[in-house]
Amino acid sequence: MEPVIERPLGALWQRYRRYRGRFALAVLMSTVNKVADVVPELLIGAAVDVVVRGSGSFVADLLGVDSRHSQLAWLAAINVVVWVVESASEYAAAVLWRGLSQGIEHDLRVEAYDHAQHLHLGWHESRASGSTLATLNDDVNQLERMLDVGLPAILQTALNVLLVGIVFAIASWQLLLYAFLPIPVIILGSLVFQRRLEPLYDRVRGAVADLSGALSANLAGIATIKSFTAEERERARVEQVSAAYRDTNLRAIRASAAFVPLVRMAILAGFTCTLLLGGWATLDGELELGLYSVLVFMTQRLLWPMTDVAEVLDLYQRGRASTARILALLAEPVTVPAGTRALDRPVRGRVELRGVRAGYADGPDVLHDLDLVVPAGETHAVVGSTGAGKSSLLRLVLRFDDPRAGQVLLDGTDVRELDWDSLRGSIGYVAQDVYLFSGTIAENIAYGRPDATPAEVRAAAEAAAAADFIDRLDGGYDAWVGERGVTLSGGQRQRIALARALLRDPALLVLDEATSAVDNETEAAIQKSLRRAGERCTTIVVAHRLSTVRHAHRIWVLDGGRVAEAGTHDELVAADGAYAALWRVQTGEAVA
């Protein structure tokens, strides 16, 4: 279950306290800007007043200037200054708000990615990678519009109401009431709409994650789709997910768009009141003409931006839904936290499993009551039919998972107590499905030791019997592999992965079918160098091809998550059990 985030924007505010100074500055600039924005309107009124009343005008009183011409010149001068202030503060506000939104977005993206990296492997495996990607990318970007456009707009509207309210209050209490008539309606409407929109936008964000999940899964499996000519079917599936996104979005848009007419009707009412009642009052001599014109302009200026309230509400809801998803990811607990103990150096690589019982998620046990010891410096093999639990056992040693019962120990210390550097830093691991990063061959080999010299990289490649084919590649060690470069064969990829593990010079080498895809001759070459490497480290090898493991100090035969037999190759063949039967099949004796 995903953690539920109550009041996500409040939580965001708490989280980014460090931005409060910049936030305050942005608010200040927006305020200056807004004030400077209202002044010209007042100046219009004052100008009308000058023309109408002359030496009795407001400006004449204020500045003590009699001539109408100089009064107007004064007004023009003030106007120029105000416009300069307005433009400068507008620029400053825009830069500050954008900087704020970009900064928060960047921090959130990096923090969320880093947190996701530390989450349990099982968490990643249990959900579509595209859905996590949607949160890290799409949801984070969604914040931009809210912080960039939404927040300043809310602030501007609030300031508008305040400033115009002050002017009205000074002018006429009655008109203040009329002009502000629409505001309670708009506020009430916003609250109602917000409640209605909230679940709709949560669903929109969910649909985005589904869509992104489907797309990235399909792109990753494009070769399979083609080989089964499933393009039509996949198109239909993507169409379906995309239609679901379109429809949830449309529902949200329809609901939020209904708010605009409501706002407009309320505004119309307020504007009509000021226009008519104010006009009548002026005709009756109760209101100065200058003031009347200011009030009419002001009502326009006050109410017009209110139509944006609907759009801002929309931005706010979208941003809120996205923030909730990002914060939910950040609140996801790290269920396999690092320990704090460091191993004494040099690490020897002794591995022990004591009464280990393990399984995945809510599923049944995959390993039952497993006891197994790999003394330091020895090479042990784990064999058994597919699904017997070999990879699961290795995952426990690397602590990708924790056992349900029992203990996994490295050099006599429970792996749960070890820090990652002592545990994973001591292990060279080649996974059953090799992953190469987009980059050069050399970068891939040096992935676990980025400071390795070219000579060390070459030596590791030679030990993995990869040097020959790398030399033949266009570009050699600088050839690009992975997403943007040459695609290597299965066996070539395995050898790069093996070189990568060997370059670490690990205390414990863990190989999961690391040579399954190479030919017998290459495998023999690799075996030779592995035996040499094995003199310096402890090795656990999983293999189906028994010739790979026959020289191991000890072979553990797993069956259904239990140790069925264990011993050297010769002992197991002599025991004439499951291993011996398998050996006969592989050497062809059984056929005869």
Name the residues that contact Mg ion, by CB under 5 A. Answer: 391, 432
Smallest gap from Cβ 477 to ligand M5T, in A, equals 31
Please state the closest distance from residue 410 (CB atom) to ligand M5T, in A. Answer: 20
Pick 125 or 571: Cβ nearer ligand M5T: 125
**Of the candidates 74, 84, 28, the residue with the CA atom closest to the CA atom of residue 50:** 74
Q: Of the two residues 312 and 558, which places its CB atom closer to ligand M5T in the complex? A: 558
The CA distance from 447 to 4, in Å, is: 37
> In this complex, which beta carbon is closest to Mg ion, that of residue 442 or of residue 555?
555
Q: CB within 8 A of 158, min separation 6: which ones?
A: none
Is residue 166 left, alpha or beta, with left meaning phi > 0 and alpha meaning psi from -120 to 50? alpha
Write the secondary structure of 303-368 as one string of H (helix), E (strand) and C (coil).
HHHHHHHHHHHHHHHHHHHHHHHHHHHHHCCCCCCCCCECCCCCCCCCEEEEEEEEECCCCCEEEE
**Residue 452 or 542 having the CB closest to Mg ion:** 542
CB of 386 to Mg ion, least distance (A): 7
Minimum distance from residue 366 beta carbon to ligand M5T (Å): 4
Per CB under 6 A, residues contacting ligand M5T are: 125, 360, 363, 366, 384, 386-392, 432
**How far is C-alpha 319 from the geometric centre of its chain's CA atoms?**
15
Structure-block tokens of residue 423: 């545990």
As a dihedral over the C-alpha atoms of residue 347, residue 350, residue 351, residue 355, rounded to 10 degrees, the angle is: -120
CB nearer ligand M5T, residue 412 or residue 560: 560
Pairing of β 365-374 and β 351-359: antiparallel
Q: Which of ligand M5T, Mg ion, none interacts with 560 (beta carbon under 5 to 8 A by kind)? A: none
**Cβ at position 359, least distance to Mg ion in Å:** 15
Q: Report what 392 binds from Mg ion, ligand M5T, none; CB cut-off 5-8 Å by kind.
A: ligand M5T
Question: From ligand M5T, Mg ion, none, which one binds at residue 360 (CB under 5 to 8 Å depending on kind)?
Answer: ligand M5T
Q: Which residue is nearest to Mg ion (CB)?
A: 391
Grouping H, G, I as helix, E, B as strand and the rest as coil, residue 287 is coil
Question: Of Mg ion, ligand M5T, none, which one sits near residue 137, judging by CB under 5 to 8 A according to partner kind?
Answer: none
Q: Binding partner of residue 498 among Mg ion, ligand M5T, none, CB under 5 to 8 Å per kind?
A: none
- The amino acid sitting at 44 is I
Please list, in sequence order, all residues whose beta carbon lies within 8 angstroms of the beta carbon of residue 564, skipping any fewer than 6 positions away: 384, 557, 558, 577, 578
Residue 389: name its binding partner from ligand M5T, Mg ion, none (Cβ under 5 to 8 Å by kind). Answer: ligand M5T
SS3 (DSSP) at 557:
strand
Whole-number minimum distance, CB 116 to ligand M5T, in Å?
18
Distance from C-alpha of 578 to C-alpha of 446, rounded to nearest angstrom: 40
- Kindly tell me which of 10 and 387 has the beta carbon lying closer to ligand M5T: 387
Q: Phi and psi of 288, rounded to 5°?
A: -70, 145
CB of 585 to Mg ion, least distance (A): 19
Q: Least Å distance between CB 525 and Mg ion?
A: 24
Residue with tokens 């040096």: 446
Smaller CB distance to ligand M5T: residue 319 or 384?
Answer: 384
363 interacts with, out of Mg ion, ligand M5T, none, CB within 5 to 8 A per kind:
ligand M5T
Residue 383 or 533 having the CB closest to Mg ion? 383
Residue 50 or 542: the one with the smaller Cβ distance to Mg ion is: 542
CB of 218 to ligand M5T, least distance (A): 22
Beta carbons of 509 and 540 less than 8 angstroms apart? yes
From ligand M5T, Mg ion, none, interface partner of 343 (C-beta below 5 to 8 A by class):
none
Residue 366 near which of Mg ion, ligand M5T, none (CB within 5-8 Å, type-dependent): ligand M5T
Whole-angstrom distance, CA of residue 345 vs CA of residue 425: 12
